Amino acid sequence: MSGSVTPEAAAAAAQLGAIPEGLSVPPGAGPSLQPTIFELSRPGRGGGKVAHPPADALDRIPASALRAAPPGLPELDEPTVARHYVNLSRLNYSIDTGFYPLGSCTMKYNPKVDEWAARLRGFASLHPFAPDETAQGTLQLLWELEEALAAISGMAAVTLQPAAGAQGELTGILMVRAYHRARGDADRTEVLVPDTAHGTNPATASMAGFTTVSIPSAPDGGVDLEAFRAALGPRTAAIMITNPSTYGLFERRVVELLEMTHAAGALAYMDGANLNAIMGHFRPGDAGFDVMHFNVHKTFSTPHGGGGPGAGPVGVGVSLTPFLPSPRILREPDGTFRLERPGERPASIGRMRSFVGNVGVLVRAYAYILAHGGPGLTRVSEDAVLAANYLRRRVGESFEIPFDRTCMHEFIASAAALKRETGIRTLDVAKRLIDHGFHPPTIYFPLTIEEGMLIEPTETESVETLDAFADALAAIAREAREAPHLVTAAPTTAPVRRLDEAAAARQPNLRWRPAAGSVTPCPE
Amino acid sequence: MVPTDLRYTREHEWVRVEDGVATVGITAHAADQLGDIVFVELPAVGAALSAGKAFGVVESVKAVSDLFAPVSGAVVETNGELAGRPELANADPYGDGWMIRISVSDAGELDALLDAAAYEAIAAEG
């Protein structure tokens, strides 16, 4: 039964797009769609139910709080459950199954030894309420990770609390707000954000109560200095710069930008999402940035989110250190570690997250940093930049490269010329890449580039992989001219065909319900 | 290509002025660049808009973009049809896909708007 596709699922799959005439689909190409676990359910199947202890538990609950009908839990035997989820997992595309050049996301390979470290019982089994005396190892690791991140970034101090990069941004901008308020400067209500920034930057500024002022980019892809100068003033609380930018370019005018910012009495925030490109070569703290966040999943190989636990540590310069979230991790003169006590540092912006952050994620980052050491991390960045530039030249053989100069860890290609010539859009190219066995790059981002593809190979890919990807893009450009139906019909080998994204967004149907007349699972 | 009887902004909005009321929508170029539009958020009738400031949001399968007021004034009418049928902004951007009507408070601001030829040149640049 498991592994087979119900007629309903087959019909649903067929609705997602018919395969055009004359187009053959390799048999067995890719795993197929699964029926839902509810459709696999059969009354009475599976193990016995766990009794509610004590036996009269239900009698003790007020009648008004008891549900009228039993929950519709599916009933299955264990092999069916195992096969269902294993087969579902086979529908996944991941960095462990193939190349994943999703620009801006830095889908670098996560060394398995970091997973081992995070699963060590001393870390994984520590209770979050454990007193400092019994948590010394974890506190030491976190303290040392703060020190390591400070050394990598040149910042004076680091907090590990934020649960993701975006919360790190909010933490940083709240500290900026606290800084200006502490000086009695309440008129700074604006945050300047270049149009090449991550979308989270203006969102952060709004969340913290600021107004975002967007700064256009110059033709070379950097910030337009004149527009920046015109927007900067006594109302500016901070600038937020993503460096390297989402164009994959290092901001050449960063020194002038920071001088102007500080001369205007504002602070400079660096979105450190692209730190993977500059370790060992550029320290934001040395350049004069006052605050930055780290995306440990992009730089130090922790798992990517999808809503799961993340970490977005924040580094600050001396001027913002008093405002760091509490509790900080302190090292006592005798070498032991403890958490700051409530109220110990009144200037703090307070807690950003329960406990001390997502420790399991931070253990992975710590393991990655120690495994590489300083020279190793420098090499990581150099290899990421080398791979991106190699791929930029290779992809440039078949697609336009809007900023054709040495890039950092990622670059933009454009299908604008191909679209004018053949009508094939970037979306079609991306879908066809799936048939060629690759995860597509990020498309239509940054928004400022027509028919853009943001491609980021990361440092962990071999030259053979990079060549195979460039060859696939070249093959798709040829197909667009010679057999465009192959490209417009793609993907043909994936579990689902081209999805109707507009209908999905306009009429979201997010909840599975049993068909009328079907067996209701779990009658008792 | 673009209708010659309308005025335009650099932010890819069109404006039709009749009896002191400006009807505003997004251009066909903007709709094409955005792709399938799935949601349009418009201000309430009576809201005061100032020229150049964001007044609403248009969301497509590709991106979420701000809508900018071409002129200052009060909103006198919004296109309620877009709530249920946002695709009108793709299908008929200069007609049924209109977004808001503004009672123009400063007619002088209309002079700053682009004519069709000037807008077409900007749209051609991407």
> What does the DSSP assignment read for A254-313?
HHHHHHHHHHTT-EEEEEETTGGGTTTT--HHHHT-SEEEE-HHHHS-PPP-TTS-----
Task: Please indicate if any CB of chain A lies within 8 Å of the CB of B126.
Answer: yes
B27-73 residue pLDDT tens = 999 999 898 999 999 999 999 999 999 999 999 988 888 899 999 99
Residue A445 Cα, gap to closest chain B Cα (Å): 9
Q: Does A102 reside within a domain?
A: no
Is residue A38 located within the same domain as residue A187?
no
A370, A389, A404 - which closes a domain: A370
Domain end marker among A339, A370, A401: A370
> In the prediction, which pLDDT does A522 show?
45
How confident is the model at residue A61, as a pLDDT? 87
Q: Is B91 on the interface with A (CB under 8 A)?
A: no
Helix (H, G, I), strand (E, B) or coil at A118: helix
Contact: A505, B38; criterion CB under 8 Å: yes
Shared-domain flag, residues A362 and A401: no
pLDDT digits (tens, 9 = 90+) for A148-192: 999 999 999 999 999 999 999 999 999 999 999 999 999 999 999
Same structural domain, A153 and A179: yes
A501–B61 C-beta distance less than 8 A: yes
Same domain? A384 vs A487: yes
CATH number at residue A317: 3.40.640.10
Residues A343 and A351: their CA atoms lie apart, in Å, by 11
Query: B39 — contact with chain A (CB < 8 Å)?
Result: yes
Locate the chain B residue with the closest alpha carbon to A443.
Answer: B62
Q: For residue A262, give the nearest of A243, A287, A226, A282 by alpha carbon.
A: A287
Question: A146 with A222, same domain?
Answer: yes
Measured between beta carbons, which residues in chain A are less than 8 angstroms from residue B86?
Answer: 506
Touching check for B44 and chain A: CB below 8 Å?
Answer: no
d(CA A241, CA A192): 9
* pLDDT (0 to 100) of residue A446: 82
- The tens digit of pLDDT for each residue in A427-466 reads 999 999 999 999 999 999 887 788 999 999 999 999 999 9
Residue A471 amino acid letter: D
Residues A351 and A205 in one domain: yes
A138 & A79 share domain: no
Q: Are residue A203 and residue A352 in the same domain, yes or no?
A: yes
Which residue, among A308, A303, A348, A323, has the nearest Cα to A96 in the 3D structure? Answer: A303
Whether residue B126 and residue A447 make contact (CB cut-off 8 A), yes or no, is: no
pLDDT of residue A501: 84
Domain-embedded: residue A49? yes
Q: Do the Cβ atoms of A502 and B36 come within 8 Å? A: yes
- Shared domain for A418 and A486, answered yes or no, is yes
In total, the C-beta contacts within 8 angstroms joining chain A to chain B are 25
Cis peptide leading into residue A521 (ω within 30°): no
- Considering only the beta carbons, identify the residue of B33, B61, B126 that sits closest to A505: B61
Average pLDDT of chain B, as a whole number? 94
Please check whether residues A160 and A247 belong to one and the same domain.
Answer: yes
Does A104 map to a domain? Answer: no
pLDDT in tens, B98-112: 999 999 999 999 999
pLDDT of residue A35: 85
Which residues on adjacent β-strands are paired with residue A413? A453
Cβ pair A271, A198 in contact under 8 A: yes
8 Å CB contact of A444 and B63: yes
Number of structural domains found in chain A: 3
Q: Are residues A380 and A358 in the same domain?
A: no
C-alpha distance across the termini of chain A, in Å: 24
The answer to the question of residue A58 being in a domain is: yes
Contact B87 A505 (CB under 8 A): no
- Tell me: do A436 and A315 sit in the same domain: no
DSSP β-ladder status, A236-242 and A190-194: parallel
Burial classification of residue B110, based on how many CB atoms lie within 10 Å of its CB (0-12 exposed, 13-18 middle, 19 or more buried): middle
Q: Give chain A's residues under pLDDT 50.
A: 1-30, 522-524
For residue A307, what pLDDT is reported?
A: 59
| Angle between helices A463-482 and A359-395 in degrees, nearest 10 | 50
pLDDT at residue B21 greater than cutoff 50: yes
| pLDDT given at position A452 | 95
The whole domain housing A396 covers: 375-506
pLDDT confidence of residue A513:
77
Q: Which of A228, A273, A335 is nearest to A103 (CA)?
A: A273
Residues of A in contact with B34 (CB under 8 A): none
CATH for A447: 3.90.1150.10
| End-of-domain residue from the set A370, A392, A419 | A370
Report ipTM for this prediction: 0.76
Structure tokens belonging to residue A81: 């459950």
Among A368, A210, A361, A367, CA closest to A276: A368
Chain A residues within an 8 Å CB radius of B38: 502, 505-506
d(C-alpha A444, C-alpha A224), whole Å: 22
Q: For A152, list phi and psi in degrees, rounded to 5.
A: -65, -35
Question: CA nearest A503 in B: which residue?
Answer: B38
The pLDDT value recorded for residue A8 is 45
Which residues lie closer than 8 Å to A4 by C-beta, 6 or more apart?
A35
Which residues in chain B touch residue A505, judged by CB atoms under 8 angstroms apart? 36, 38-39, 59, 61
What pLDDT sits at residue A473? 98
Contacts of B32 in chain A (CB under 8 A): none
Q: What is the pLDDT of residue B17?
A: 95
Q: How far apart are CA A366 and CA A116, in angstroms?
A: 12
Q: Does the CA dihedral A11-A13-A19-A25 come out positive or negative? A: negative
**From residue A133, how far is each of A138, A336, A339, B104, B112 by CA, in Å?**
11, 9, 10, 69, 69
Q: How far is A429 from chain B (nearest CA, A)?
A: 15
Identify whether the C-beta of residue A112 lies closer than 8 Å to the C-beta of residue A301. no
Q: Which CATH architecture has domain B7-125?
A: Beta Barrel (2.40)
Residue A11's pLDDT is 44
Contact: A501, B87; criterion CB under 8 Å? no
